[in-house]
Structure 1
Amino acid sequence: MIWIILSAYREDTILFPNYLQHFFIALAVAVALNFFWHPGKIYASGVTGFSQVLESLSSRYLPFTLTTSSMYFVLNIPLFILGWLKIGKKFTLFTIIAVILASIMMKLIAPIKLSYDPIICAIFGGVVNGVGTGIALKSGISTGGIDVLGIILRRKTGKSFGQINIFFNLIIVICAGFCFWLDTCFIHCFKYFYQWSCH
């Protein structure tokens, strides 16, 4: 998604979607997360995946659980500030709307365990999330997270965002192996390789 958002971005303007588009994107992310990725112990990429990692680790080693929905919002707060200072107020406001809606949807939509097979969950979760991503691509929406960093990096250096994205997702893969053993780690490697091969 980052590549289309970056190409849609201009110095003075960016495509702003209506609230209905924000709603469907948030719904797709929440369904993919609660119906497929969580049951299959599959991590998303970016801030969503890192939020899942924090939930898994906190549920194991802390007396309380840092939920994915709450951490998704909290981890985006410093990125809101960066976006406000480095990109623009309108862009940041629409990003905040997208993140808030996604966080609410993640919390409100009850998990339904359609399958425990990690490969099936990875595939169908990716398909559902891809519907939301497709809407975002068409509208030039940023859903926060490393999208914001990508836009800032592109503006400042003109360099590819790929290396940072790979590094960030590598951390998620390592944490997945730590939490759910090597078989899950291999599945995540396959998932991320497939995603990059599609770009």
Structure 2
Amino acid sequence: MKGKKTKFYQLIGRYILLFIGAMIYSIGLEIFLIPNNVIDGGIVGISIITTHFTKLPLGVLTFILNVPFFIFGYKQIGKTFTISTLFSVFCYSIGVSLFTPISSITQDVLLASIFGGILIGFGVGLIIRNGGSTDGSEVIAIILDKKSSFSVGQIVMFFNFFILTSAGFVFGWDRAMYSLIAYFIAVKVIDIIVDGLDESKAVIIISEQYQDISEAIMNRLGRGLTLLDGKGAYKGVDTSVIYVIVSRLEISKVKNIVHGFDEDALITIGPVDVSGKKYKKKAIH
């Protein structure tokens, strides 16, 4: 019984966050981008351009254009994701309608593009982090991904680039360029919201100075690390390879430490999903 209540509250909390994300997204669109003829990508971008010619309500048009894609792709993306996404699309369609009468905060197109991109990225990132989506173009990408050599990200990027470029013919090429600025800002903010500022990175360091580098990383960053046995294929020399997990914000510090001992050291960095108490940072004395 207690477990069911916990799951129920978690579900309610998730939908509240989906709603908040949709409202933030709506504000970014209606109060910053759209009044300055700057558009977003995906189905929303198509809706903005269509609304410009037809004068149909953007919120209604966005919802109508999105729904068929999610129904069509139901089997491809699953029940939970479909319901969460439909809820998000419904909420931001309402939000767009609510915020339409409000005047733009700024007439400076660059400022509108920057802050609109930040708000859109924050809103969409919140939605994605809680299991939803905001655009039917992602469903198209998922389906095409299984029938082509391109990844979902590449298909979405191409789709959005085409839509944002189309804005040049409708609103002028300067607005198309501002739209690209807003889009790339939004993408970076989405990454931060979804992955977090404290996103973990796995770092592998190959250097003859591995002992000094290891001690410096442990002392300066308070991170535990592992020394792996390695052997150079060319020279056949035995060595130790440093493996350490750090946060995104500590990457530059690791590089500075390593290059302080060995400018020729080989450093490889990659994303990693971490669990376990051993990863937790130790206090530096």
Partner residue in 1 for 2:15: 19
Cα deviation for residue 158 of structure 1 reads 7.3
| Residue identity matched to 1:118 | V
| Residue identity matched to 1:92 | T
Cα deviation for residue 78 of structure 1 reads 1.7
Cα deviation for residue 46 of structure 1 reads 1.1
| Residue identity matched to 2:141 | G
Kindly indicate whether residue 96 of structure 2 is the aligned counterpart of residue 106 of structure 1.
yes
Partners of 1:162 and 1:144 in 2: how far apart?
A: 13
Q: TM-score with structure 1 length normalisation?
A: 0.77
Partner residue in 1 for 2:83: 93
The 8 Å contact of residues 38 and 176 in structure 2, kept in 1 or not, is answered as no
Kindly indicate whether residue 39 of structure 2 is the aligned counterpart of residue 43 of structure 1.
yes
Return the index of the structure with the highest Cα Rg: 2
Partner residue in 1 for 2:131: 140
| Residue identity matched to 1:178 | F
Equivalent residues in 2 for 1:44-63, closer than 5 Å: 44-58=40-54
1:81 is matched with which residue: 67, 71, 85?
A: 71
Structure 1 residues 157 and 185: alpha-carbon distance in aligned structure 2, compared to 1, 3 A threshold: closer
Q: Which stretch shifts more, 143-152 or 99-108?
A: 143-152
Structure 1 residues 151 and 140: alpha-carbon distance in aligned structure 2, compared to 1, 3 A threshold: farther
Cα deviation for residue 87 of structure 1 reads 2.6
1:31-78: per-residue Cα shift (whole Å, max 9, x none)?
Answer: 0011100122110111111111111122xxxxxx12221111111122
Partners of 2:66 and 2:173 in 1: how far apart?
A: 29
The 8 Å contact of residues 53 and 172 in structure 1, kept in 2 or not, is answered as no
Partners of 2:70 and 2:128 in 1: how far apart?
A: 20
Equivalent residues in 2 for 1:177-192, closer than 5 Å: 177-192=168-183
What secondary structure, in the 3-state scheme, does the structure 2 residue paired with 1:28 have? helix
Partner residue in 2 for 1:130: 121
| Residue identity matched to 2:49 | V
Q: Which has the higher contact order (CA 8 A, sep 6+)?
A: 1
The 8 Å contact of residues 38 and 175 in structure 2, kept in 1 or not, is answered as yes
| Residue identity matched to 1:46 | G
| Structure with more of its chain in strand, by fraction | 2
Report how many residues are paired. Answer: 179
| Structure with more of its chain in helix, by fraction | 1
**RMSD between superposed Cα atoms in Å:** 2.6
What secondary structure, in the 3-state scheme, does the structure 1 residue paired with 2:31 have? helix
Partner residue in 2 for 1:72: 62
Q: Which stretch shifts more, 27-36 or 167-176?
A: 167-176
Cα deviation for residue 156 of structure 1 reads 5.9
Unaligned runs of 5+ in 2: 1-9, 192-285
Percent identity of equivalent pairs: 33
Structure 1 residues 82 and 129: alpha-carbon distance in aligned structure 2, compared to 1, 3 A threshold: same
Q: TM-score with structure 2 length normalisation?
A: 0.55
Partners of 2:73 and 2:136 in 1: how far apart?
A: 10
1:172 is matched with which residue: 159, 163, 168?
A: 163
Structure 1 residues 190 and 19: alpha-carbon distance in aligned structure 2, compared to 1, 3 A threshold: closer
**Structure 1 runs of 4+ with >3 Å offset:** 150-159, 189-199
